């Protein structure tokens, strides 16, 4: 969640104007998702849309800096500091095997039923038993293994 | 020793391994012989004694739901039942069926403080006994064992490990579609829906047991007469005995019948039979089921056949056969 900007805050680094529209779009979507009614949804299900938008926005900034190299280091650091992107998640994406990771909680082995295991969404589709429908309770991920 | 006043002193159950029937770990789909179980100490309260106990959870395999233990090992040992399905460990039959066939008395109290006291005492017994087991009732006798073996199913009942039926699907508004982990089926109307874990444990009002006992009774020709006013059971081929002997035998083999619930007993010495009038119809049905499961009643060391009394022709249906035990007895004796 980005910080609120007032007249006293420092202006954003150069190049921000170019991506401001996209970020504003994400913010609008996020607001809609937050205000959406939770009626008829399961307990776990209600946060999924929020997780999804947060993931998409992090992905957008990650791509801009690391893949497409369109923004400066300065702007990237500023965006991270303002929490436009999830720094922990991006840190994982840089590692091999975690390129598509959905959320950091899904690789937190301590939260799982069995010692040292991860979320079901981390299991490659080829290894899953036939007929298993994956929809992880943390973020609604349907599979984020790098091999898929 | 009196029961503990403080709930914190009542204690808890802790165990290393659950007491289960085989079928709870199987799916019948060529399943993996190895199971991974998780153990959680003080996981939840026992559904019978309300004390915290060690909960075990496992998934039997493909096409089945996650299962967990519902009652503590103490409660399970007391009755000799599975911690999950509450069926008898040896025969896989409901407690009510087993107890009816063996003529066992339900000794476990179900009220709060009595229950605590009872469990406290039995736990002490278990500590002292060499095999760590206590059965509040004696071992099954051989005849009873044979009977139960006949009633028990030979193959494991895999179907009970399936997921539960989706309640939203039944209402017609399940939005999860293929993702739904529950079963999308319309439940069958077979009267087995209303089951209660407490009743199953104590062996009363168990619809499954009623079905099994009813089937056994029907096989042995003990179909309850359609006339609801009949509450009489007829004992045929009695040895020389008094009505006190019959009363004792009745209470001994049907422990749920208390002495004042036997309305009257009329003996017909000449034709070696007796008419036992019970106080109401449900009790009579239960006694008939239990006695047919035991294949008769033992009076003075002799097995005696039991059949239902007949409704009296000519008389008004409102008038219970039991009300005129003596007169009715005479008339029916000739028929029988």
Confidence of residue B1 (pLDDT cuts 50, 70, 90): low
B78-106 pLDDT, tens digit per residue, is: 888 899 999 988 888 898 888 888 877 76
Q: For position B184, what pLDDT does the model report?
A: 92
Q: What's this model's pTM, rounded to 2 decimal places? A: 0.74
Q: Highest mean pLDDT range out of A63-77, B115-129, B192-206, B236-250?
A: A63-77
- Asked whether the predicted pLDDT for residue B327 surpasses 50, the reply is no
- Whose CA is closest to B331, among B264, B245, B247, B266? B266
Identify the residue among A42, A111, A113, A117 best suited for mutation to test binding to B, counting B beta carbons within 10 A and taking the highest: A113
Q: Are B147 and B33 in contact (CB under 8 A)?
A: no
Which residue from A minimizes the CA distance to B58? Answer: A113
Question: Does the CB of B172 have a partner CB in chain A at under 8 Å?
Answer: no
B10-66 pLDDT, tens digit per residue, is: 777 788 888 888 877 776 665 667 888 889 999 999 999 888 999 999 888 778 889
- Asked whether the predicted pLDDT for residue B163 surpasses 80, the reply is yes
- Asked whether the predicted pLDDT for residue B317 surpasses 50, the reply is no
- Asked whether the predicted pLDDT for residue B324 surpasses 70, the reply is no
B178/A133 CB distance under 8 A:
yes
The two tokens of residue B165 are: 């039926």
For range A24-52, the mean pLDDT: 93
Q: For position B141, what pLDDT does the model report?
A: 65
A123-135 pLDDT, tens digit per residue, is: 999 998 887 888 8
Q: What is the signed CA dihedral for B105, B107, B108, B110, rounded to 10 degrees?
A: 80
The minimum CA-CA distance between B75 and chain A, rounded to whole Å, is 27
- Asked whether the predicted pLDDT for residue A80 surpasses 50, the reply is yes
B252-310 pLDDT, tens digit per residue, is: 788 788 888 888 888 888 888 888 888 888 888 888 888 887 777 878 877 788 888 88
A114/B62 CB distance under 8 A:
no
Chain A residues near any Cβ of chain B (below 8 Å): 40, 113-114, 129, 131, 133, 135
Q: For position A1, what pLDDT does the model report?
A: 60
Q: Which domains does chain B have, with CATH numbers?
A: 1-219 (no CATH), 222-333 (3.30.70.330)
- With a CB cutoff of 8 Å and minimum separation 6, the contacts of B293 are B97, B100, B101, B147, B151, B213, B216, B217
């Amino acid at each position: 969640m980005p910080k609120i900007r007032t007249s006293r805050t420092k202006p954003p680094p150069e190049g921000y104007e170019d991506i401001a529209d996209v970020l504003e779009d994400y913010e609008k979507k996020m607001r809609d998702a937050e205000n959406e009614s939770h009626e008829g949804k399961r307990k776990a299900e209600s946060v999924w849309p929020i997780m999804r938008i947060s993931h998409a926005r992090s992905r957008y900034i990650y791509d801009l800096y690391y893949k497409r190299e369109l923004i400066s280091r300065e702007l990237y650091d500023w965006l991270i500091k303002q929490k436009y992107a999830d720094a922990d998640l991006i840190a994982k994406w840089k590692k091999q095997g975690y390129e598509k990771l959905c959320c950091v909680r899904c690789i937190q082995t301590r939260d799982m039923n069995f010692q040292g295991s991860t979320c079901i969404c981390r299991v490659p589709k080829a290894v899953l038993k036939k007929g298993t429908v994956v929809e992880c309770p943390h973020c609604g991920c349907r599979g984020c293994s790098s091999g898929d | 020793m009196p029961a503990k006043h403080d709930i914190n002193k009542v204690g808890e159950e802790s165990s290393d391994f659950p007491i289960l029937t085989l079928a709870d770990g199987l799916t019948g789909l060529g399943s993996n012989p190895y199971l991974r179980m998780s153990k959680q100490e003080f996981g939840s309260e026992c559904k019978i004694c309300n004390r915290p106990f060690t909960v075990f959870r496992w998934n039997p395999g493909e096409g089945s739901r996650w299962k967990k233990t519902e009652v503590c090992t103490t409660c399970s040992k007391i009755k000799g039942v599975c911690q999950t399905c509450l069926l008898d460990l040896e025969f896989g039959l409901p407690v009510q069926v087993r107890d009816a066939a063996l003529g066992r008395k339900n000794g476990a109290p179900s009220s709060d403080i009595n229950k605590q006291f009872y469990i406290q005492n039995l736990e002490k017994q278990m500590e002292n006994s060499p095999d760590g087991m206590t059965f509040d009732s004696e071992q099954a006798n051989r005849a009873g064992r044979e009977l139960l073996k006949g009633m028990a199913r030979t193959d494991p009942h895999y179907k009970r490990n399936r997921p539960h039926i989706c309640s939203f699907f039944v209402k017609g508004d399940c939005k999860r579609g293929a993702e739904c982990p529950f079963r999308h089926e319309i439940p069958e109307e077979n009267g087995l829906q209303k089951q209660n874990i407490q009743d199953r444990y104590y062996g009363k009002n168990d619809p499954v047991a009623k079905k099994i006992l009813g089937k056994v009774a029907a096989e042995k020709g003990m179909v309850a007469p359609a006339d609801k006013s009949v509450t009489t059971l007829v004992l045929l081929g009695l040895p020389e005995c008094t009505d006190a002997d019959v009363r004792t035998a009745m209470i001994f083999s049907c422990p749920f019948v208390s002495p004042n619930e036997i309305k009257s007993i009329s003996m017909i010495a000449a034709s070696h039979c007796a008419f036992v009038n019970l106080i109401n119809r449900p009790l009579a049905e239960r006694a008939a089921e239990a006695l047919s499961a035991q294949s008769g009643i033992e009076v003075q060391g002799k097995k005696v056949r039991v059949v239902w009394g007949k409704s009296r022709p000519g008389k008004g249906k409102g008038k219970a056969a039991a009300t005129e035990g003596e007169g009715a007895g005479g008339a029916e004796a000739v028929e029988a």
